Homo-oligomer: A and B are copies of this chain.
Amino acid sequence: MAQSTLIPEPPGYAYGHPEVPRSPVSIDELRQIESTVGWTDQDTKILQRHAEIFRNNAESMVDAWRALIAAQPHLLQWFAGPDGKRDEQYAAKVKKRFVQWVVDACERPHDQAWLDYQEEIGLRHTPAEKNRTDHAHTPDLVPLRYLIAFTTAVAIATRPFFVRAGVADPELRKLEDAWAKTLQLHVTLWARPYTKERLW
């Protein structure tokens, strides 16, 4: 018998699960946001073409981005437990989902399940849901300013992985652009629950 290719889902990962509420954002609105960011079918294809880079390096990528967080107390504090130290258990649980997110961001189609889960991820950074999934006691928020600002740092910090995998210009720039658009698309959707009624 062929070995199962199913990878166990990280705890708290709820992509496509029936308990994830429907996003208040419509698919039509999603298409408008995609268009705004400059997303095209070419971006989907180029990410698919390099999916192995993301699959093979997802954990190392998260480690690289987290090293940036660890070096900045104003970013690290949102992982702290009541004793003021990083809650290692919480950080480890979140990390598994973050690694899975890298693969999802590259491979999953932008459909209703994808859209619903982006709302869920956004909520999990706000007082509405932060800590709930992991029964943790860290601060109840990652402020929106850090989510938005960190997006560009993540985009730039991913480049060395593309280069080390042998991607060179002009393909490299296309891949970087697709990845930058993907990141911005995600953070745009995650910003929704932070935003005042009607202003998002």
Query: A: which residues have CB within 8 A of B?
Result: 29, 32-33, 35-38, 68, 72, 74-75, 126-127, 141, 143-146, 148-153, 155-157, 169, 177, 180-181, 184-185, 187-189, 191-192, 194-196, 198-200
Contacts and interface: CB of A to CB of B under 8 A. Distances in A.
Nearest to A155: B180
Contacts of A74: 32, 35-36
A127 B197 CA distance: 12
Nearest to A141: B199
Contact of A192 (B29, B38, B145, B169): B145
Contacts of A144: 191, 195, 199-200
User: What is the oligomeric copy number?
Assistant: 2
A72 B36 contact: yes
B184 A151 contact: yes
B141 A187 contact: no
Contacts of A199: 126-127, 141, 143-144, 194
Given A126-B199, A141-B198, A191-B144, A185 B149 contact: yes
Contacts of A177: 156
B145 A191 contact: yes
Nearest to A25: B145
B32 A188 contact: no
A32 to B, nearest CB: 4
- Of A141, A143, A169, the most chain B CB neighbours within 10 A belong to A143
